[in-house]
């Protein structure tokens, strides 16, 4: 075919006529779930595709084979099923082709920019181009801006949740495309719609709305899709809340008290409505960030699994018997979490016991997790206090995986103790929490705010000494935080009001979390709880919890202790104890005479089943070992 014979809009470029197997993967996962594995594999075999090729979604299939497979898929789920991939977009087995993309993007629009700039990663038969801004304002036939152009270059007022994506066939795909009838081309168009519509689901957002303006199946020279999605950070909730509150309250007050009272009431209500709206927007952005982070890690894990590059640390017990850095002989695994493994180890020269935390799987290759491990080690080595777990070394394994060496602790976490005993007695808990307060005091004096104080991060040694763990989430008050966009900034049940809305954290932020922790430990219940994260963040702003003595009058908690804990839970920073040192002194002033040391002797609460050894939270039981036997 000569250049004169090229169809309008075709791109002259070499390459094979192939498509990523990911084009089929989400649909086959759905069919496997609904119809069984035999049905999905039968589709591939009848299309002449080896099922193992699609099992690895990063493989390639020919256009003709993909057409045969899509025709069979449509017979099962319908053409509309191609346009709407649903939750299968973020299925762990479908994320292997998104590894590179999810390392670089931060918001939904970045995925469309990436798709346009890196079309070759998904198809060898066509190219995507992107136009940002209001599609209605772009004249038909205008040249699309470069895919990697910055939004500022295209107009500062361009909305960030609408793009026009144009798909053009490549020259070497034309001969094959001419053999496709309209119905076959329609299937490929629908599959592209499904890909474009499903990308916002990576953030937990609903499918994007896709308007198909031009279509190859209808004889056009390209396919053009206008894509619009709902981004949580672009909704004017604060303005709407302010206006609605001002109008309703102003009208009500005006009727009752005159126009002046109505104006003042409207202004006040508007301010409150705007604040509530901003909190709502913040909570939606936070939820999206959490979902994105979960899918990013899943994609990294999937990519490593497909390439067979999972590190030795990803296999429990794989390091046992090895010597790290020529100094530490690895023993058995004593704990694990979502991002790493903790091993018992011994210094080969000095003979003393240590614990070694090793990043594993995707986290071992992720710069953010490595930076957090370095920060945790740096902070804990500089906070020299008997109530803070000591860090002894930080190094890399031969494959580049990071590990940190820490003092070996014997005992159990406070979370484990509470899971077994439900509550702790004040005679035992007050001295314990004085030690925790002193650990916070030492950290705050170094300008460090922990930001994630919770029962899982308080370790109780066999002698009863508490140790505060996991400063990886902490923030230096005198420096910028290493926390990246989208990373969890705390555990919502223990977050202070200012932390819930993303304001600056201060030492009193830790004191609020400490108050939640003590309330839970002494009563067996959280002071504020909700199954809904958004509501939980809102309740921390406004709900005043019941005093402990009202919540659990059967436990005989001392009034002085109740006052200290409730002071820690004040909404205003200025109303809480001014420092961890002051809090420690307040706890130390509570008389211990006559206070119960252990409720189990009187069988006040049945012991629920023990918590499992592993956790999905991503926080490691850093020094975990088997708890001592129950008396």
Which of 389, 407, 425 finishes a domain? 407
User: 3-state DSSP call for residue 308?
Assistant: coil
Per-residue pLDDT, 8: 43
Indicate if 470 belongs to the active site: no
Which three-class secondary structure state does DSSP give residue 459?
strand
| Nearest Cα residue to 28 out of 92, 87, 88, 78 | 88
Q: What is the rounded average pLDDT of the residues 216-234?
A: 84
Measured CA distances, 484 to 317, 469, 476, 487, 560 (Å): 31, 21, 15, 6, 41
Q: Are residues 287 and 429 in the same domain?
A: no
Do 239 and 288 reside in the same domain of the chain?
A: yes
Closest residue by Cα to residue 544 from 522, 521, 575: 575
- Is residue 574 within 8 Å of 552, Cβ to Cβ? no
Of 238 and 410, the structure prediction assigns the larger pLDDT to 410
Claim to verify: residue 58 and residue 198 sit in the same structural domain = yes
pLDDT at 629: 36
Cα separation values, 207 from 27, 112, 132, Å: 16, 14, 19
Domain boundary among 279, 307, 335: 307
Query: Lowest mean pLDDT: which of 240-249, 282-291, 463-472, 617-626?
Result: 617-626
What is the SS3 assignment for 17-72? CEEECHHHHHHHHHHHHHHCHHHHHHHHHHCCCCHHHHHCCCCEEEHHHHHHHHHH
The pLDDT, as a whole number, for residue 20 is: 85
**Do 259 and 271 reside in the same domain of the chain?**
yes
Please tell me the predicted confidence (pLDDT) of residue 464.
92
Please report whether residue 608 resides in a domain: no
Confidence band of 248 (pLDDT split at 50, 70, 90): low
- For 463-495, the DSSP string reads TS-EEE---TT-EETTS---PPTTS--S-GGG-
Please state, in angstroms and rounded to a whole number, the distance separating the CA atoms of residues 158 and 455: 46
String of DSSP letters for 174-195: HHHHTT--HHHHHHHHHHHHHH
- Are both 383 and 274 inside the same structural domain? no
DSSP category for residue 462: T
Query: pLDDT higher for 225 or 296?
Result: 225
Q: What is the mean pLDDT of residues 441-465?
A: 89
Q: What's the Cα-to-Cα distance from 272 to each of 257, 265, 355, 539, 545, rounded to whole Å?
A: 20, 11, 50, 15, 21
Specify the higher pLDDT residue, 157 or 460: 460
**Total count of domains within the chain:** 4
Query: Residue 147: pLDDT above 60?
Result: no
Note the pLDDT of residue 249. 56
CA dist., res. 526 & res. 569, Å (int)? 12
- Kindly state whether residues 427 and 365 are assigned to the same domain: no
pLDDT digits (tens, 9 = 90+) for 365-376: 555 556 666 666
Q: In what order do the strands lie in the sheet with 411-413?
A: 411-413, 458-461, 466-468
User: 18-22, 38-42, 138-142, 210-214: lowest mean pLDDT where?
Assistant: 138-142
Residue 399, domain member (yes or no): yes
Write out pLDDT tens, residues 501-549: 878 889 999 999 999 999 999 999 999 988 777 888 888 888 899 999 9
Domain CATH code at residue 416: 1.10.510.10
How far CA 492 is from CA of 126, 507, 532, in Å, comes to 45, 17, 10
Tell me, yes or no, whether 227 lies in a domain: yes
Clarify whether residues 515 and 589 are in a common domain: yes
User: Does residue 609 lie in a domain region?
Assistant: no
pLDDT at 79 over 60: yes
Kindly state the average pLDDT of the residues 137-158.
43
530 in the same domain as 422: yes
DSSP 8-state symbol, 374: H
What pLDDT is stored for residue 282 in this prediction?
A: 58
- pLDDT interval class at 276 (50, 70, 90): low
Is residue 283 very low, low, confident or very high in pLDDT (cuts 50, 70, 90)?
Answer: low
Helix (H, G, I), strand (E, B) or coil at 212: strand
**Once rounded to an integer, what is the mean pLDDT over residues 354-366?**
66
Residues 190 and 62 in one domain: yes
Give Cα separations from 273 to 278, 368, 520, 543 (angstroms): 9, 36, 32, 17
- For the chain, give the number of residues: 631
CA gap 116, 107 in Å, rounded: 15
Together in a domain, 162 and 299: no
Q: Which of 172, 286, 452, 510 is catalytic?
A: 452
Lowest mean pLDDT among 13-22, 187-196, 302-311, 393-402: 302-311
pLDDT-wise least confident of 93-102, 251-260, 462-471:
251-260
Position 339 scores a pLDDT of 59
DSSP 388: B
Rounded distance, CA 430 to CA 590, Å? Answer: 8
Last-in-domain residue among 307, 337, 368: 307
Token digits of residue 399:
């494959």
Ranking 111-115, 200-204, 273-277, 297-301 by mean pLDDT, the lowest is: 273-277
The average pLDDT across 286-296 equals 80
Across the strands, what pairs with 461?
411
Can you tell me the distance from the alpha carbon of 613 to that of 625, in angstroms, rounded to the nearest whole number? 10
pLDDT of residue 350: 82
Tokens of residue 427, six digits: 């005679």
Q: Distance between CA 30 and CA 542 in Å, rounded?
A: 43
Q: Are residues 336 and 428 in the same domain?
A: no
CA gap 498, 495 in Å, rounded: 8
Query: What would the two tokens of residue 296 be?
Result: 């990013």
From residue 297, how far is each of 117, 364, 518 by CA, in Å?
A: 23, 11, 33
Domain-located, residue 357:
yes
Contacts of 108 (CB under 8 A, 6+ apart): 161, 199, 200, 202, 203, 205, 208, 229, 231
CATH number assigned to the domain comprising residue 351: 3.30.200.20
**Residue 617 covered by a domain:** no
**Which range, 258-272, 473-487, 570-584, 596-610, is most confident?**
570-584
d(CA 611, CA 90): 29
Low-confidence winner among 53-67, 168-182, 232-246, 420-434 (lowest mean pLDDT): 232-246
- Calculated CA dihedral for residues 465, 466, 472, 473, nearest 10 degrees: -160
- The span from the CA of 457 to the CA of 543, in Å, is 25
First vs last Cα of the chain: how many Å apart?
Answer: 86
- Structural domain that includes position 67: 3-233
- For the segment 52-67, what is each residue's pLDDT rounded down to a tens digit? 778 888 888 888 889 9
pTM for this one?
A: 0.48
Residue 56 is predicted with a pLDDT of: 80
What pLDDT is stored for residue 6 in this prediction? 40
Q: Pick from 3-12, 119-128, 162-171, 545-554 the range whose average pLDDT is largest.
A: 545-554
Q: What is the CATH number of the domain that holds 40?
A: 3.90.1520.10
14 found inside a domain: yes
Mean per-residue pLDDT over the chain, rounded:
76
CB of 532 within 8 A of CB of 589? no
Residues 21 and 100 in one domain: yes
**What does the pLDDT look like over 569-578, one tens digit per residue?**
999 999 999 9
Q: Is 359 helix (H, G, I), strand (E, B) or coil?
A: strand
Inter-CA distances, 305 with 95, 300, 325, 370, Å: 11, 9, 27, 20
Residue 620 lies in a domain: no
Using the predicted structure, report yes or no on whether residue 336 has a pLDDT greater than 80: no
């Amino acid at each position: 075919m000569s250049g004169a014979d090229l169809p309008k809009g075709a791109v002259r470029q070499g390459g094979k006529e192939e498509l990523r197997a990911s084009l089929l993967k989400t649909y086959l996962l759905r069919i496997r779930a609904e119809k069984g594995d035999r049905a999905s594999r039968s589709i591939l075999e009848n299309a002449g595709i080896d099922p193992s090729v699609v099992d690895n979604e990063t493989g390639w299939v020919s256009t003709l084979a993909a057409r045969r497979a899509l025709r069979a898929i449509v017979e099962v789920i319908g053409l509309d099923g191609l346009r709407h991939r649903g939750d299968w977009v973020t299925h762990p087995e479908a994320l292997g082709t998104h590894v590179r993309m999810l390392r670089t993007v931060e918001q939904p629009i970045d995925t469309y920019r990436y798709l346009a700039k890196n079309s070759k990663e998904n198809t060898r038969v066509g190219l995507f181009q992107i136009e940002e801004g209001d599609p209605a304002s772009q004249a038909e036939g205008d040249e699309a801006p470069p895919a990697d152009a910055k939004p500022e270059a295209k107009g500062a007022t361009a909305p960030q949740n609408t793009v026009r994506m144009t798909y053009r066939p490549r020259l070497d795909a034309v001969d094959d495309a001419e053999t496709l009838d309209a119905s076959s081309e329609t299937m490929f168009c629908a599959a592209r719609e499904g890909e474009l519509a499903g990308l916002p689901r990576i953030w937990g957002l609903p499918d994007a709305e896709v308007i198909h303006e031009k279509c190859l199946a209808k004889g056009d020279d390209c396919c053009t899709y206008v894509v619009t999605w709902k981004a949580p950070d672009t909704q004017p909730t604060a303005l709407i809340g302010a206006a609605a509150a001002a109008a309703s309250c102003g009208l009500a007050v005006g009727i009752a008290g005159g126009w002046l009272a109505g104006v003042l009431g409207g202004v006040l209500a508007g301010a409150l409505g705007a604040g509530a709206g901003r909190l709502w927007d913040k909570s939606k952005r936070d939820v999206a960030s959490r979902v994105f982070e979960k899918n990013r890690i899943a994609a990294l894990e999937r990519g490593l699994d497909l390439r067979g590059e999972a590190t030795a640390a990803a296999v429990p017990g794989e390091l046992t018997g090895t010597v790290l850095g020529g100094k530490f002989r690895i023993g058995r695994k004593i704990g694990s979490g979502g991002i790493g493994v903790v091993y018992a180890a011994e210094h080969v020269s000095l003979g003393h016991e240590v614990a070694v935390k090793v990043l594993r799987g995707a986290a071992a290759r992720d710069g953010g997790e490595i930076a957090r491990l370095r920060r945790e080690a740096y902070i804990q080595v500089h906070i020299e206090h008997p109530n803070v777990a000591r860090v002894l070394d930080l190094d890399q394994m031969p494959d580049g995986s990071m590990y940190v060496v820490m003092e070996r602790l014997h005992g159990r976490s406070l979370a484990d103790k509470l899971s077994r005993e439900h509550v702790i007695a004040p005679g035992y808990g007050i001295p314990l929490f004085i030690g925790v307060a002193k650990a916070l005091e030492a950290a705050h004096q170094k300008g460090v705010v922990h930001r994630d104080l919770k029962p899982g991060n308080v370790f109780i040694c066999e002698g009863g000494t508490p140790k505060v763990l996991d400063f990886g989430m902490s923030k230096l008050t005198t420096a910028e935080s290493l926390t990246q966009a989208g990373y969890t900034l705390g555990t919502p049940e223990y977050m202070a009001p200012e932390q819930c809305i993303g304001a600056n954290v201060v030492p009193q932020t830790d004191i609020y979390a400490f108050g939640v922790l003590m309330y839970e430990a002494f009563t067996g219940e959280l002071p504020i709880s909700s199954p809904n994260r958004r509501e939980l963040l809102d309740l921390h702003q406004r709900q005043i919890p019941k005093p402990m003595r009202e919540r659990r009058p059967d436990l005989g908690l001392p009034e002085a202790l109740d006052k200290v804990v409730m002071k820690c839970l004040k909404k205003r920073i200025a109303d809480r104890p001014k420092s961890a040192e002051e809090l420690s002194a307040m706890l130390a002033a509570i008389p211990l005479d006559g206070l119960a040391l252990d409720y189990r002797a009187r069988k006040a609460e049945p012991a629920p089943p023990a918590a499992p050894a592993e956790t999905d939270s991503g926080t490691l039981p850093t020094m975990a070992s088997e708890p001592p036997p129950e008396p």
